[in-house]
Amino acid sequence: MSGSRNLDAAIARTILIGVTCLLFNMAATAQPVTRHAARRMSRGHSGDATLQARLDQVVRSFVDEGAFMGSVLVSEGDKRLLDKGYGSADLEWNRPNDPNVRFHIGSLTKQFTAALILQLQDEGKLRVDNPVSRYLPDAPKNWDKITLADLMGHRSGIPNFIGDPAFHAWSMSAHTAEEELALFRDTPLEFAPGTRFSYSNSNFTVLGIILEKITGKSYGELLRERILAPLGMNDSGLDSDDLVLPRRAQGYVPANGGFARLRPESMTVAWAVGGMYSTTADLLRWEHGLFGGKVISASALKAMITPGLGGYGLGVFVHSEQGLTFVDHGGSIEGFNAHLTYIPERKIGIVVLGNVDAFVPDTIAAQLANVMLGKPVTLPLKRQSAAIAKQELARFVGVYEVPAIGPGFTLTVSMAGDSLSAQLTGREPTTLEYQGVKNGHPRFYAPREFAEFEFIPNASGSITSFVLHVGGENIRGMRR
């Protein structure tokens, strides 16, 4: 379960989301796209057609690399400038993606959970600055200083339950909310509440439980009654393991030059954290409803999109560029990756829903935003692998701690035939392609994630660490 824009101020956040919500994402080496036409924003029929072609070109560059299948919607105000599907929703039945296909959206769910909490505050049924213990009397003693706002802003100090190496296997079967809570309720806090930002899915498990306790209704009922039905989001909902859902996309992972089916975790585990499905059009309805005053009060919306620690508001990342506000989040769940960006001053909405387990929707969304704003973008280029002896590859094999992602997260590098593979805790392995040595440091490229690993040797030549170059950021891992 994931999400954000990717690491940076504009991209950083996502690897902590895209990576807790899971790893990797990058725009790779570049081929410039001219911005001449992009500047002709919505000024007449020919300008729109040129802009649409440029937006489509950005998406197709990732489709052609085998890194993306899904649906994409780009709008400004009521005008939809790009609204189409790419690749297959279901390869077995040869069913193409289109704007009506429903996708798992992972951690995009979190902003809906946050909005439900803010609705209850608007109604006087809770206050986000109250401690968790007021609503969960049996909460652990070390949670006494954690507020609901701390949970919504990922500053509670509660460890991320998906960081447990056993989580992936555990998540494949159904569990109750109480069983999920038991995974982390008795673990020590990572830091004093309110003092740091650390993306943790555990926070939204607690919020989901609080919602159900206060209202006496299930999370799915609350979602439907309070948000989806009023906004006309008829193609969205909380998924379940036994739900027969027409027009549902299946999730895949790149494999052997094509795609392999990837089974998602139980939706009972994802629920208020990342269990929703939706379409591009419904998510645009959500943005228009949220910013149009149809979901929460103006004061609640202001609190939601005011950036706090880590550039995170309440359920969303928020940052500013050139006087514009970007409100965004990513989502990741087995076989699916998603990204949602809204720029309220321009009423620009960008929705990227993918059914390939490769972390590129964040990059696609960022590049589409650049096109809309008349900025230059880069397209991924194919890289040529360099030759390396098999015995040389053994230098890189090992387990690396990745504290920037979160406690317990490791990257395991192992041999895979005549090449290397890398596997983040709880994730599918990805192939690494040798790129040669730059500034004395061997480099490998992960084409599925558009990410580059720079391995760093010590004075004796042994590999002791790496730097993951992704989305404009550099994430370090240390060898155990």
User: For 297-327, how does the pLDDT look when each residue is reduced to its tens digit (9 = 90+)?
Assistant: 999 999 999 999 999 999 999 999 989 999 9
**pTM surpassing 0.85?**
no
Question: Mean pLDDT throughout 424-439?
Answer: 85
Lowest mean pLDDT among 36-50, 397-411, 424-438: 36-50
Would you tell me how many other CB atoms lie within 10 Å of the CB of residue 297?
14
Question: Mean pLDDT throughout 144-150?
Answer: 98
361-372 vs 45-64: helix axis angle to the nearest 10? 160
Question: Mean pLDDT throughout 248-256?
Answer: 88
pLDDT at 193 over 50: yes
Q: How confident is residue 245, by pLDDT bands cut at 50, 70 and 90?
A: very high
pLDDT at 84 over 60: yes
Question: Mean pLDDT throughout 165-192?
Answer: 92
Would you tell me how many other CB atoms lie within 10 Å of the CB of residue 42?
12
User: What pLDDT was estimated at residue 430?
Assistant: 84
User: What pLDDT was estimated at residue 130?
Assistant: 98
Give me the amino acid identity at 29.
T
Inter-CA distances, 209 with 166, 190, 206, 266, 403, Å: 23, 22, 5, 17, 28
User: 355, 72 in Cβ contact below 8 A?
Assistant: no
User: What pLDDT was estimated at residue 33?
Assistant: 40
User: What pLDDT was estimated at residue 376?
Assistant: 84
What's the chain's average pLDDT? 87
Map tokens 């995170």 to a residue.
312
User: What pLDDT was estimated at residue 7?
Assistant: 30
Map tokens 């706002």 to a residue.
149
Lowest mean pLDDT among 1-5, 6-10, 85-89: 6-10
Choose among 470, 452, 349, 360: nearest CA to 69.
Answer: 360
Choose among 76, 448, 113: nearest CA to 252.
Answer: 448
Segment 6-57, tens digit of pLDDT: 333 333 333 333 333 333 332 222 333 433 333 433 344 457 888 999 999 9
Percent of the chain with pLDDT over 90: 70
Question: Mean pLDDT throughout 283-288?
Answer: 98
User: What pLDDT was estimated at residue 426?
Assistant: 66
Q: Which of 312-316, 330-334, 464-468 has the highest mean pLDDT?
A: 312-316
User: What pLDDT was estimated at residue 414?
Assistant: 95
User: What pLDDT was estimated at residue 11?
Assistant: 32
User: What pLDDT was estimated at residue 469?
Assistant: 81
Choose among 109, 79, 56: nearest CA to 233.
Answer: 109
Q: Rounded to an integer, what distance in angstroms lies between the CA atom of residue 407 and that of residue 67? A: 29
∠279-303-287 over CA atoms, to 5°?
Answer: 20
Lowest mean pLDDT among 45-49, 348-352, 388-392: 45-49
Q: Give me 37's structure tokens.
A: 């036409």
User: What pLDDT was estimated at residue 473?
Assistant: 66
